[in-house]
Structure 1
């Protein structure tokens, strides 16, 4: 697929997806979402790619859903508005699920405003690194809608239920330093080095076994909903797979060879 509303590049096994509608502060249109889904599927399916960095072109990370698209949906025939909305939600949830369940580390490099769906998209990543120009706002309430990109799931897990309610009920802007103190952001860095710092962090996180990493991430993503018994059960199955992986065999053989050389 040819990408025009996003940019996808891969260097040294690290993929970077850049939202590329800078004139619209990278607001997510339906066409942009389609490209985003294809890019995520491509990254997930490429074993040579070990990690993903997500960022935005220009001054913003992602301004949320495209308002012109919202207006077009409201002007659909009355009998079609509900189903059209349901269909769109399926696409939104598919994109966010692909991002959240990506079987490799994902870092959001937030270069500017992340609002509404943009804030949720950052939260769907494993980690968030942000520049001094970054900000976050769960501004859905200002449009008379609810967070539909996973914010009601992800945000309480980052900041706690009460703080999540405050941020969602008010839709207020959260500057980067407050976001860092609340736990929304994991690291703050300079705008000049944001991408290089994010890429270096992605490389650090993805050095080890990709098999073990993918399985571990899958279980950790569910750990708040699972019982300890469920975690142990899924862990046992995952470990069985790890035992058969080429990465496990190579690491054991390398350790034994190194030990033998010292004797």
Structure 2
């Protein structure tokens, strides 16, 4: 059976590929479960330094599977709410694993990132867009709201008024506009997308993996934290960093070089 989520490792960089190209990598329950399992595996693998998320075929991710939505509409009315609540738990688990990954995560957006697909890209630390990429917060067109963290992540990237515009209209944002408004961080040629994502990931992970993990965790909380709270988190993290082999080896190497 073909995996719905593929995992490969290149230069200590995990490449996770959503693999339902026939439906532009729409997320169904089975794919969501596989994605959670793969992300947990990557998070736990200390030999992996960063993660690149992309999609097979022409699309990054077209969002939730419409067939699943149709099935939901036929469920008994008394079960719809609880079934939806339970499904949302899995959605949030997968997005939380992306956002909370203790190593850099790059979304390599190769085509359309719509609805939940856009939310998933926003959950990553960085977005590298192919020139053929397009983003849309299409939930409003289905009578829904962003359920994958987009209402949290998008304003932090593009500002509150622009986030409202993109969410209220559900309009399509092409790659160049995405770069201009901060929705994407870089744009590259389609045939360079994965190679450039891996190269960027390698560049981001030259330093201490412990330092990067702590720094990412603290930075992701800065907008919700006070100055004193950020200082406290930094103090606690630094105390741990003092004890690591990476810190000891780096200081020793520097002193040995300076003493020559």
TM-score by length of 2: 0.99
Shift of 1:232: 0.1
| Aligned 1:174-193 pairs, distance under 5 A | 174-193=173-192
Distance in 2 of aligned mates of 1:61 and 1:95: 16
> Residue 6 of structure 2 corresponds to which residue in structure 1?
7
Distance in 2 of aligned mates of 1:194 and 1:134: 11
Shift of 1:207: 1.0
> Residue 145 of structure 2 corresponds to which residue in structure 1?
146
Does structure 1 residue 158 correspond to structure 2 residue 157? yes
> Residue 91 of structure 1 corresponds to which residue in structure 2?
90
Distance in 2 of aligned mates of 1:75 and 1:43: 36
Does structure 1 residue 65 correspond to structure 2 residue 93? no
In structure 2, the gaps of 5 or more residues are none
> Residue 106 of structure 1 corresponds to which residue in structure 2?
105
Does structure 1 residue 74 correspond to structure 2 residue 78? no
Distance in 1 of aligned mates of 2:220 and 2:105: 13
Shift of 1:12: 1.7
> Residue 33 of structure 1 corresponds to which residue in structure 2?
32
Deviation track 1:31-71 (CA, whole Å, cap 9, x = no partner) reads 00000000000000000000000000000000000010011
Distance in 2 of aligned mates of 1:66 and 1:222: 32
Deviation track 1:80-111 (CA, whole Å, cap 9, x = no partner) reads 11110000000000110000010000000000
In structure 1, the gaps of 5 or more residues are none
Deviation track 1:209-247 (CA, whole Å, cap 9, x = no partner) reads 000100000000010000000000010000001000110
> Residue 15 of structure 2 corresponds to which residue in structure 1?
16
Shift of 1:11: 1.7
Change (3 A) 1:8 1:255: same
> Residue 135 of structure 2 corresponds to which residue in structure 1?
136
Q: Secondary structure at the match of 1:62?
A: coil
Instruction: Kindly indicate whether the alpha-carbon contact (under 8 Å) linking 1:52 and 1:106 is maintained by their aligned counterparts in 2.
Output: yes
> Residue 173 of structure 1 corresponds to which residue in structure 2?
172
Deviation track 1:159-206 (CA, whole Å, cap 9, x = no partner) reads 000000000000000011110101000000000110000000000001
* Alignment: residue pair count: 260
Change (3 A) 1:93 1:3: farther
> Residue 227 of structure 1 corresponds to which residue in structure 2?
226
Shift of 1:75: 1.0
Instruction: Kindly indicate whether the alpha-carbon contact (under 8 Å) linking 1:29 and 1:66 is maintained by their aligned counterparts in 2.
Output: yes
Dislocated runs of 4+, deviation >6 Å: none
Deviation track 1:123-156 (CA, whole Å, cap 9, x = no partner) reads 0000000111000000000000000000000000
Instruction: Kindly indicate whether the alpha-carbon contact (under 8 Å) linking 1:96 and 1:150 is maintained by their aligned counterparts in 2.
Output: yes
| Aligned 1:50-61 pairs, distance under 5 A | 50-61=49-60
